[in-house]
Amino acid sequence: MSLQQINMQGITKALRLHGRQLRHAVVQHMNKGIFSWATLISRIQSESPTVIIPHMGLENITVSEILKAKGESEAGAVYWCNTSNLVHEAIKHMTAHNVGALVVLKSGDMKQLAGIVTERDFSRKILLPGRPSEETRVEDIMTEEDKLITVSSSTNILRAMEVMTDKHIRHVPVFDEKVVGMISIGDVVRAIVDQQHQEVKQLKKYITGDYY
């Protein structure tokens, strides 16, 4: 059996175990016009090919593992802005850190969550209507706290994907009494692909005799 055949078997196994849920997530986001498969694949391929999470099975992976792999286990790694910031400033902040969303904190109380602002908000509420980003406040376009969808660090990765799919969202703040990070649909897909890649590597070792 060739290594290519082994790889194909691994991919087939991945799709059989989780493919329906993964395909459903992708289709839902594409239908809503808020998901670019080409962009997602490009981002995944541009990142380091090293393992981001030790192999432990998708049923055992939580959001916490994703945050640790992203280096967001410390509060200082959470990218944010406040309600009084101009949209132009928020977009520059996203660009500088190569992220698609920012946690929004309340002006005057930097510990209190006010909402989230995303590239989608910028496109739909600034670019399309032609509003000036240099004159518009983040609070005018953000998703407010009462409409905000969050997960906790203990949420299972498949549950997180289900939430994002059902609510048609690409970014979800991670909230454990305070904001501890942010995950995207790209983070979730990459973690799933990475886990299945590790299963294929283990299968290769078994077939080539590394296991006795």
Domain parsing of the chain, residue ranges? 59-193
Q: What is the pLDDT of residues 19-60, one digit of tens each?
A: 455 555 544 544 444 444 445 444 544 444 444 677 777 788
Q: Say which CATH superfamily domain 59-193 falls into.
A: CBS-domain (3.10.580.10)
In DSSP notation, 37-63 reads HHHHHHHHHHS--S-SS-S--GGG-BH
pTM: 0.66
Closest CA to 115 of 126, 102, 125, 127: 102
Instruction: Note the pLDDT tens digit of each residue in 98-113.
Output: 889 999 998 877 678 8
Measured in whole angstroms, how far is the alpha carbon of residue 122 from the centre of its chain? 18
Instruction: Report the alpha-carbon distance of residue 52 to residue 49 in Å, rounded.
Output: 8
